[in-house]
C-alpha cells in the first residue's frame, strides 16, 4: 500500500490509520485497497465483516420516534444519541455510529455508512466514511465520500456522487485523473477543512487539509491544502489557529506533534 495514493487523507496519518468499515486498516487485512475510493467500494463488505465481530445493537440513546430498517444490521455505540424522527435504513448495507456522536432530529442515514466518534450529523448521508470529530450538523447531502477528522461542513453543503451521463467517475490523483471504474463516487476531504453555507462539490473532488471553501458556485476536481476559496492561500498561523479553536470547542487540545505535522504539510505543499 502506497500512502501517497491516499493523499490528502494521509497527510496527517499513515494509511493504516484510515477507517475501513468500522475499524482501522491496521486492525484488519483488507483486500484490494490501493486507492482511497477502494475504501468506499468495499464499505458494505467491510462493515458486514466488522459488525460480525463487534455485534449489532443499539447501545446509545435513541428517541422512540426513530425509524429503523434492518435494525439487526445497525450498531449504535454507547454514548451516541439519535434524535427524533430520524431514519436509519440499513437495507442496502450496515450502519455504524461511534460513541459520543449526535445525530440531530430528522436525519436520514442510508447504509452502508460508517460514522466515527463525537461527530455531529444532520441531513442525508449514504455510503460514506466519516472519521472522528466530523461536524455535518445541518441539512445537505453527502454520498459515497470519505471525510477526515475536524472537517466542518456548513449548512447546505452538498456533494454529487454520480455524473449526469452515468459515466465512470474520475479522481485527480498526483496531478493526473484516475478512473475509479465506479458510477457512484463522491468527494475526499482532508483534515481541518471547512466549507461555507451552500457549498457545492462535484463528483470525485479531492480537497486537501486546512482549506476554507467559500464564494464559489461549485468546487470541481481538485482543491489544494490551505486553500482560501479558489483564489488564495491560508496563512499557516491562521490555519493553526482555526484548527486549535475548532478542537477547543470539543475540549480537545491541538498537540505539539499535530501542529508540527500541519506545518510540515504546509511547507511541502507550498514548495
What pLDDT shows up at residue 224?
A: 95
The CB-side HSE value for 154 (13 A sphere, CA atoms) comes to 13
The CA-CA-CA angle for residues 120, 258, 125, to 5°, reads 25
The CB-side HSE value for 193 (13 A sphere, CA atoms) comes to 30
Going from the N-terminus, what domains does the chain have, and what CATH number goes with each? 3-270 (2.160.10.10)
What pLDDT shows up at residue 175?
A: 84
What pLDDT shows up at residue 251?
A: 96
The whole-angstrom distance between residue 159's C-alpha and the CA centroid of its chain comes to 12
What pLDDT shows up at residue 271?
A: 53
Nearest one of 127, 121, 51, 122 to 89, comparing CA atoms: 127
How does pLDDT run across 58-75, given as a tens digit for each residue? 999 999 999 999 999 999
Report which secondary-structure segment, H or E, holds 178: strand 176-179
What pLDDT shows up at residue 137?
A: 97
pTM, two decimal places: 0.96
What pLDDT shows up at residue 2?
A: 76
CB crowding 29-68: b at 16 or more within 10 Å, else e: ebeebebbbbbbbbbbebbebbbeeeebebebebeeebeb
Nearest one of 10, 64, 40, 93 to 75, comparing CA atoms: 93
Report yes or no: 222 and 212 within 8 Å, Cβ to Cβ: no
Chunk the chain into consecutive blocks of 10 residues (it has 271) and report each block's average pLDDT, rounded to whole numbers: 87 94 87 90 96 95 98 98 98 98 98 98 98 98 98 98 96 91 97 97 97 92 94 95 96 96 91 53
What pLDDT shows up at residue 19?
A: 95
Amino acid at each position: 500500500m502506497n500512502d501517497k495514493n491516499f493523499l490528502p487523507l494521509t497527510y496527517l496519518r499513515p494509511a493504516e490509520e484510515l477507517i475501513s468499515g468500522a475499524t482501522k486498516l491496521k486492525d484488519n487485512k483488507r483486500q484490494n485497497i490501493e486507492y482511497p475510493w477502494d475504501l468506499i467500494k468495499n464499505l458494505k463488505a467491510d462493515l458486514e465483516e466488522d459488525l460480525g465481530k463487534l455485534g449489532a445493537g443499539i447501545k446509545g440513546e435513541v428517541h422512540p420516534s426513530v425509524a429503523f430498517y434492518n435494525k439487526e444490521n445497525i450498531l449504535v455505540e454507547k454514548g451516541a444519541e439519535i434524535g427524533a424522527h430520524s431514519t436509519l435504513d440499513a437495507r442496502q448495507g450496515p450502519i455504524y455510529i461511534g460513541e459520543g456522536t449526535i445525530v440531530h432530529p430528522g436525519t436520514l442515514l442510508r447504509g452502508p455508512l460508517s460514522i466515527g466518534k463525537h461527530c455531529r450529523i444532520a441531513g442525508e448521508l449514504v455510503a460514506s466514511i466519516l472519521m472522528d470529530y466530523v461536524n455535518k450538523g445541518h441539512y445537505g447531502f453527502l454520498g459515497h465520500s470519505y471525510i477526515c477528522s475536524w472537517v466542518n461542513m456548513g449548512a447546505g453543503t452538498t456533494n454529487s456522487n454520480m455524473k449526469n451521463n452515468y459515466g465512470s467517475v474520475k479522481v485527480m490523483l498526483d496531478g493526473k485523473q484516475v478512473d475509479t471504474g465506479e458510477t457512484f463516487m463522491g468527494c475526499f476531504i482532508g483534515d481541518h477543512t471547512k466549507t461555507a453555507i451552500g457549498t457545492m462539490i462535484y463528483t470525485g473532488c479531492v480537497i486537501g487539509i486546512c482549506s476554507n471553501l467559500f464564494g464559489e458556485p461549485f468546487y470541481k476536481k481538485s482543491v489544494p491544502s490551505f486553500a482560501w476559496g479558489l483564489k488564495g492561500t491560508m496563512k499557516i498561523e491562521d490555519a493553526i489557529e482555526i484548527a486549535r479553536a475548532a478542537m477547543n470547542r470539543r475540549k480537545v487540545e491541538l498537540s505539539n506533534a499535530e501542529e508540527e505535522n500541519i506545518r510540515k504539510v504546509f511547507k511541502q505543499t507550498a514548495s
